[in-house]
Structure 1
Amino acid sequence: MLLDTLGQLDPHLVGAVLLALLALDGSLLIGVVVPGDAAIVVAGSALTGPAEIAVAAVAGVIGCFLGATGGWLIGRRYGARVRHSRAGRWIGERRWARAERIATSESGGPALAAAYFLPVVNALTPILAGSLGMPYGRFIRWAVTGSVAWVTTYLVLGSLAGGFVRDNQHLMVPIAACAAILVAGLVVIVRRTRSREAAVEAAEITGPAETADR
């Protein structure tokens, strides 16, 4: 079983892999393809006990620090070019705009910290913070605060989930069926929500144009 194999891995190895993934998450936008949330939960499922979780948490936070710093430097150096590059267009303007609202939020630092709990957006925030000229000291202080909460929370959840599954393997089939139904429902909801958002955006764009033509 996969979880049994993961459970036999050295916690230091798990931490090293997590560090690398989270460093790439915030600097090279790997988190857009492989969300950091999933990586942390999978890492957590390989851990048992507070000591192992602590080792992985320290490694994960270091990875977040490196990723946030790298992303901020890229944003500072290249600015809007990343956003308007081919990869930036593939990510989608809606996601960039959402991350920008967080980076420029009136609530400031707390919003940056909470952004770690928003998949994909958390990978874009460091670059935007750098391109918008946010002071590095202020940015990294809140980024580290958010990463500590984010990494620790998902590692603990992953560890609890992994332990539950290992102790209750006879429930795997019904749990998998429920999970599949839940995922299918979420996919339908997300698609409908995106369709509505696209319709609203199209109406906002065409509305002013029609008014101008008149």
Structure 2
Amino acid sequence: MGLMTDVLDWLQALPQPGLVAATGGLVLAECTIGLGFIAPGEAGLLVAATTAITPTRFLVLWGVVTLCAATGDSLGYLIGRRYGPRLRETRLIQKYGVGGWDKATGILRRRGAWAVFFARFLPVVRTLTPAAAGTSGLPYRKFLPAAAAGAACWSALHIGIGAALGEAAKRLESAMSTGALAVVAAVVAAVVIAHVVKKRRAKATPATAVEDDLEPVA
């Protein structure tokens, strides 16, 4: 049995409640403004989705992730209602997402609640749209159905992709020769090393706490 298959089998053998709860927590954090730049919710969901090998597992993971994503969006909306346009001037938005914030507010002006639904599928914009919706004054009764529908479609799509990738990885590993596996392993290692180097360079400047980032720039 290969390494890839061993890892997938190990994930699938984990206690399902704990794995689902951890995934839901990551997604909730990613969907809340300020944490979406830190928590790897989408990546965690794809990994957990490789365990969705039965209809029951798929539905449970889908239900929890949908609920957590909609809850995170609602928290972002409430933050937007609380702080209003000042959010754009905070250190967090200035550092990570001014372009995404402006894009989110522009889409909201043109599309209203539809923007909330479609923004769910756009990185960065996904995290900022709920707060922008709260800031723009979009009624919550219109925001929530759009956010919930977007969360349901987004989670189903990613769980389906993750489950398919997990199955494909097992089949690919069983069909590949040892030499081909070594090439794949080398490519994966190069990608991981490049990602780590990029991350370390980005952290060269001392990081500021999220609470400080939410303070308006003087």
- TM-score, with structure 2 as normaliser: 0.74
In percent, how many aligned pairs have the same letter? 31
Partner of 1:155: 159
- 1:102 partnered with 2:107: yes
Distance 1:153 1:177, change over 3 A: farther
AA aligned opposite 1:77:
R
- Say whether 1:17 aligns with 2:25: no
For structure 1, which runs of at least 5 residues remain unmatched after alignment?
Answer: 184-214
From the superposition, tell whether residues 181 and 73 of structure 1 become closer, same or farther in structure 2 (CA, over 3 Å): same
The residue that corresponds to 2:59 in the other structure is 54
Distance 1:175 1:114 in 2: 35
Q: Secondary structure at the match of 1:105?
A: helix
Deviation at 1:81, TM superposition (A): 2.7
Whole-angstrom distance in 1 between the partners of 2:41 and 2:77: 18
- Aligned-partner residue type, residue 75 of structure 1: G
Secondary structure of 1:118 counterpart: coil
Query: Which of 162, 168, 172 lines up with 1:164 in the alignment?
Result: 168
Give how far 1:24 is off.
Answer: 1.5
Determine which structure has the larger helix proportion and give its number.
Answer: 1
State the shift of 1:109 in Å: 2.7
Cα 1:95–1:112 change in 2 (3 A) is same
CA distance in structure 1 between the partners assigned to 2:184 and 2:145 by the alignment:
40
Residue 103 (structure 1) shift: 2.2
The aligned amino acid for 1:6 is L
Instruction: Calculate the TM-score normalised by the size of structure 1.
Output: 0.76
The residue type equivalent to 1:2 in the other structure is V
4+ aligned runs moved over 3 Å, structure 1: 170-183
Match for 1:20: what amino acid? G
> Is 1:89 matched with 2:94?
yes
Query: Match for residue 203 of structure 1?
Result: none
The 1:146–1:168 alpha-carbon spacing in structure 2 relative to 1, beyond 3 Å, is: same
Match of 1:144 in 2: 148
Q: Does structure 1 residue 70 correspond to structure 2 residue 75? A: yes
**Alpha carbons of 1:41 and 1:124: their partners in 2 closer, same or farther (altered >3 Å)?**
same
SS at match of 1:12: helix
Aligned pairs, number: 183
The answer to whether the Cα contact below 8 Å between 1:96 and 1:124 also exists between their aligned partners in 2 is: yes
What stretches of structure 2 of length at least 5 have no aligned partner? 1-5, 193-218
Residue 113 (structure 1) aligns with: 117
Paired residue secondary structure (1:79): helix
Give CA deviations for 1:52-76 in whole Å, capped at 9, x if unaligned. 0110000001101210111111100
Question: What CA distance in whole angstroms lies between the structure 2 residues aligned with 1:130 and 1:32?
Answer: 19
Query: Contact conserved, 2:120 with 2:151, CA < 8 A, in 1?
Result: yes
Cα drift, residue 128 of structure 1: 0.5
Q: Once the 2 structures are TM-superposed, how far is the Cα of residue 180 of structure 1 from its aligned partner? A: 8.2
Q: Equivalents in 1 of 2:43, 2:108: separation in Å?
A: 23
| RMSD value, Cα | 2.4
